[in-house]
Structure 1
Amino acid sequence: MAPTSKPTFPWWLAAAVAIAVVAGLAIASSDLYSQVFSTVAAGIGVTIFVTIVAFVLASLLGLGIALMALSSSRWLIQIARFYVEIIRGVPILVLLFWIAFVGAPAFVAGWNFVTQPLQQAGLTGPLMVRDVSLLWRAVIALTIGYSAFIAEVFRAGIQSVEAGQVEAAKALGLSRFQRFRLIVFPQAIRTILPPLGNDFVAMVKDSSLVSVLGVADITQMGKIYAAGSFRFFETYSIVAYIYLILTVGLSLALRALEKRMRRAYEVQR
């Protein structure tokens, strides 16, 4: 039996924590950096909201696309494949612009066409493009963009479950939904969680793209402050610092969750 390697001390984490503490003390002791930080930090709530809502919606949509790709219907398989390949081939920034400035006006036009009888009866007024929040346009764009990648994560995770277990569950008389809920998904989640966590961390960073629509996230607040004060070095250093705190902290939390799930699975075995 090959000897197991001992876990090494995470020197990279110690160095990152030391740098974060030193940077935090520098921010607290400087009036300029404190002012920049307080201004930029006002966008943290928007960044977190956009990330969580878009990721949850993208996960639900991605799971649906993955189940379509694994279905027995050739039409559903082709539709799922078409969706994944097309969406993955479009850059997130381009998709963001398309949803915001093409998709939203098209939606408004379609809505007004459908509700035209109600408008003529005076029961409702016409919907304007400006009534569609830029924040929600950004959320929808991130949802669509990431759902294609998450669909592939779910598909690979579900396919990693041994076919024999599914056949055994089928022989026991379990329905398709019961097989998925009781047999397939609990085992697939161990394979799904690491890449899904990576997508979540990536979405935290890609949420900065919503600033191009004027959404008041961390990056947008930094852009506004830097444009007015010309303190570009200080401002974008703080912006990078906040994103690093969010992403590194989230990565460590996800890694701890993976280890906990791995230990629980080993105990069950």
Structure 2
Amino acid sequence: MNVELMIESLPALLSGLVVTFQLVAAALVVGFVIALPTALARISRLAILRGLALGYAFFFRGTPLLVQIFLIYYGFAQSEALRDSILWPILREPYWCALIAFSLNTGAYSAEVFRGGIQSVPHGQVEAARAIGMSPASVFRRIVWPQALRQALPAYGNEIILLVKASSLASTVTLMDITGVARTLAAETYMPIEMFTAAAAIYLALTYSMSWGIVLLERRLTPKESRV
């Protein structure tokens, strides 16, 4: 194995890391914005909201992410209405199509994680908060959500790690993320083992760092009396 070539390829691969990080960070933000209302809709008393949320989660959790990327990337191009709209200059770009796919996918998984966290909060605490006159919004903000987040954080952390690894699929629509750069370098040097090993090392370092960050956040959010 040509270690020297692997070291020489690191600057190019790290340029792909910037794309990967931007894509994952944006997808997590948008996915969170999607996930929380979806989780609340899943436990809503309104059947129509539960049905819409369930249908969304069922589709995006039940189909492969790669298929979702292809449906969005190639499907938008088949729509005459989209090609003639002001959105087309954005939606024809692979970056935005990948971002939409990742956001919708992680939003569906995260919604189920948050739903479980919300439902794990003891109902008696909610009833007690209502009994002293707290509004529903205050009950959720001050009682339900802090506890739900602590309960959901381990599973949500796993979803973040999975999204980082799944971001390698962005290279299938020509994005030059870590995997995309590694594929290009492998084609140029005819040394795929070295290039993809170097890429794997970068992914490993990234996921390891994020795992430790999630552990530290868990410890910070866990009450001191619960750590013993």
Query: How far off is 1:111 after superposition?
Result: 7.1
Query: How far off is 1:110 after superposition?
Result: 4.2
Query: How far off is 1:100 after superposition?
Result: 0.7
Q: Distance in 2 between matches of 1:144 and 1:36?
A: 33
State the match for 2:101 in structure 1: 141
1:77 equivalent to 2:61? Answer: no
Q: Relative to structure 2, which stretch is displaced further, 251-260 or 62-71?
A: 251-260
1:138-168 C-alpha deviation (Å, 9 max, x unpaired): 0100011111111100000000001111111
Q: Distance in 1 between matches of 2:49 and 2:61?
A: 18
1:28-74 C-alpha deviation (Å, 9 max, x unpaired): xx3x2222112211101000000010011111101111111111111
State the match for 2:12 in structure 1: 39
Q: Output the amino acid matched with 1:132.
A: R
User: Quick one: structure 1 residues 265 and 178, their matched pair in 2 at CA, closer, same or farther if it must change by over 3 Å?
Assistant: farther
State the match for 1:197 in structure 2: 157
Q: Distance in 2 between matches of 1:131 and 1:81?
A: 26
Q: Relative to structure 2, which stretch is displaced further, 85-94 or 129-138?
A: 129-138
1:231 equivalent to 2:191? Answer: yes
Does the 8 Å contact 1:154/1:192 carry over to 2? Answer: yes
Q: 2:27 aligns with which of 36, 49, 54?
A: 54
1:103-133 C-alpha deviation (Å, 9 max, x unpaired): 3543x62473xx6xxxxxxxxxx66568632
State the match for 2:81 in structure 1: 109
Give the 3-state SS of the residue equivalent to 1:103 in structure 2: helix
What residue ranges of structure 1 are gaps of 5+ in the alignment?
1-25, 116-125
User: Quick one: structure 1 residues 260 and 94, their matched pair in 2 at CA, closer, same or farther if it must change by over 3 Å?
Assistant: same
Q: Distance in 2 between matches of 1:129 and 1:90?
A: 27
Q: After the TM superposition, which residues 209-224 of structure 1 pair with which residues of structure 2 at under 5 Å, given as runs?
A: 209-224=169-184
Query: How far off is 1:197 after superposition?
Result: 0.7
Q: Distance in 2 between matches of 1:83 and 1:137?
A: 18
Provide the TM-score with structure 1 as the length reference: 0.78
1:64 equivalent to 2:37? Answer: yes
State the match for 2:71 in structure 1: 98
Does the 8 Å contact 2:126/2:143 carry over to 1? Answer: yes
Query: How far off is 1:262 after superposition?
Result: 2.0
Q: Distance in 2 between matches of 1:127 and 1:229?
A: 39
Q: Relative to structure 2, which stretch is displaced further, 180-189 or 34-43?
A: 34-43
Does the 8 Å contact 2:76/2:92 carry over to 1? Answer: no
Q: Distance in 1 between matches of 2:161 and 2:58?
A: 22
User: Quick one: structure 1 residues 195 and 104, their matched pair in 2 at CA, closer, same or farther if it must change by over 3 Å?
Assistant: farther
Q: Distance in 1 between matches of 2:91 and 2:122?
A: 49
Q: Output the amino acid matched with 2:81.
A: A
Give the 3-state SS of the residue equivalent to 2:222 in structure 1: helix
Q: Distance in 2 between matches of 1:44 and 1:95?
A: 23
Q: Output the amino acid matched with 1:109.
A: A
State the match for 2:125 in structure 1: 165
Q: Output the amino acid matched with 1:84.
A: A
Q: Distance in 1 between matches of 2:184 and 2:166?
A: 19
- Size of the aligned set, in residue pairs, is 227
What residue ranges of structure 2 are gaps of 5+ in the alignment?
none
